[in-house]
Chain A
Amino acid sequence: MTLKPKQPSNESGKAARQQYLDLAKHVTGEANLDYVTLYQRFAENDWAAVKLDDAVASLSLRFGNSPKQTVGILHQSPYLQHQVHHCNVPLAPMSQYVRSTVLKTVQRQKQAQSQQRSSLQSSDLEKS
């Protein structure tokens, strides 16, 4: 039986799904990707789905979405949707997974920025 994602039941879900899909297209480099294909490809492959969520979170933040918006977008990830609507995993632990993914990404990006700043400062010092 082919896997089918549950349709979002409200407008905010639809918008978040579209945003997730747009970011996933950038991540995979497949401009014609649709959500059903994405879902079928990733929903049952835990490891790949988690890696996709990591990449989408990172890109979302880099594209200027706030961490809170990114948490919302990741609630439409194939992984979360499959776990919640197909495997009946309660939403709370899955929301916590999304929050921890975004939090780790924020921390990683902050760390990278501060490293970049300090290396720029030291190269300025070397020049002066």
Chain B
Amino acid sequence: MARKRSPNSTSDRQRIQFAYNADRDTRIGEVFKYLLKSDKVPSRKGKHKGLDAIAAFWQAFAYKEKEGVSEEEKMAIAQESIESLSQQIDLIRETFGIEPPVTVTTDPAQLKQEMRLVATQVFQEFASSGAIYALAIENVNTQPTNAVSATTKPDPHNDEGVDFDEEALLGGLFDSSDVAA
């Protein structure tokens, strides 16, 4: 019996080519040499690495408007790209000893929560140093007093890990009250 031809058989496949001739002495030329002409990376593997890189960068956008692909599939593709790119970032950091940036809270709700925590800590510090009364007066009169900053010297235990005198560097907590008014 004659075998039914698969819709994906070689002769039916529609193909698209991506080719680029790079000058060897350009940066992209160096990348091509690393991927295709290196002793460390077989050229077949090198081509796949190049294709993986292109796909990780652009496949989510390529599928974004494509019809016949469900939203779940599109999200999975985007997620897959993020994972690939994150892994590559980790690899570059590890290879070159680059520390990740200081984590910044990006969620406004989380940020507000953190600010509440800071505010609570500040007020607890005032309460324990007896300066809360002076702060209340300052809030009513919006009159900064040097006496307040003198009584709110930070607890030295809270400065652990900071290798300089915060107050000498930044001034007292209420030194800029005038500026903010």
Using a CB–CB cutoff of 8 Å, the interface residues on chain A facing chain B are 8-10, 12-13, 16, 46-47, 50-51, 54, 67-68, 71-72, 75-76, 80-81, 84, 89-100, 102-104, 106, 108
A97 touches B115 (CB 8 A): yes
User: Nearest Cβ distance between residue B144 and chain A, in whole angstroms?
Assistant: 9
A8 touches B181 (CB 8 A): yes
Interface of B is mostly: helix
User: Nearest Cβ distance between residue B17 and chain A, in whole angstroms?
Assistant: 40
How far, in angstroms, from A100 to B173 measured CA to CA in the complex? Answer: 11
Question: What are the residues of chain A within 8 A of B123 when measuring CB–CB?
Answer: 92-93
Question: What are the residues of chain A within 8 A of B122 when measuring CB–CB?
Answer: 92-93, 96
Using a CB–CB cutoff of 8 Å, the interface residues on chain B facing chain A are 102, 104, 106-108, 111-112, 115, 118-119, 122-123, 126, 135, 138-139, 162, 166, 169-171, 173-181
Interface of A is mostly: helix
Known: A46-B111, A47-B108, A91-B139. A103 touches B170 (CB 8 A): yes
User: Nearest Cβ distance between residue A86 and chain B, in whole angstroms?
Assistant: 13
How far, in angstroms, from A81 to B176 measured CA to CA in the complex? Answer: 13
B178 touches A12 (CB 8 A): yes
- Return 18 A-B CB contacts under 8 Å, by A number: A13-B181, A16-B179, A46-B108, A67-B170, A68-B171, A68-B175, A71-B170, A75-B176, A76-B180, A91-B138, A91-B139, A92-B126, A93-B118, A94-B180, A95-B176, A96-B173, A99-B166, A106-B169
Question: What are the residues of chain B within 8 A of A97 when measuring CB–CB?
Answer: 115, 118
Known: A68-B169, A106-B169. A75 touches B179 (CB 8 A): yes
Question: What are the residues of chain B within 8 A of A76 when measuring CB–CB?
Answer: 179-180
User: Nearest Cβ distance between residue B162 and chain A, in whole angstroms?
Assistant: 7
Nearest 9 CB-CB pairs, A to B?
A93-B119, A75-B180, A46-B108, A75-B179, A75-B176, A68-B171, A9-B181, A16-B179, A72-B179
Known: A46-B112, A47-B111, A93-B118. A13 touches B170 (CB 8 A): no
User: Nearest Cβ distance between residue B133 and chain A, in whole angstroms?
Assistant: 13
Question: What are the residues of chain A within 8 A of B174 when measuring CB–CB?
Answer: 91-92, 95
Question: What are the residues of chain A within 8 A of B173 when measuring CB–CB?
Answer: 92, 95-96, 99
Question: What are the residues of chain A within 8 A of B166 when measuring CB–CB?
Answer: 99, 103
User: Nearest Cβ distance between residue B126 and chain A, in whole angstroms?
Assistant: 8
How far, in angstroms, from A71 to B104 measured CA to CA in the complex? Answer: 19
How far, in angstroms, from A97 to B139 measured CA to CA in the complex? Answer: 17
How far, in angstroms, from A81 to B181 measured CA to CA in the complex? Answer: 8
How far, in angstroms, from A9 to B176 measured CA to CA in the complex? Answer: 13
How far, in angstroms, from A12 to B171 measured CA to CA in the complex? Answer: 16
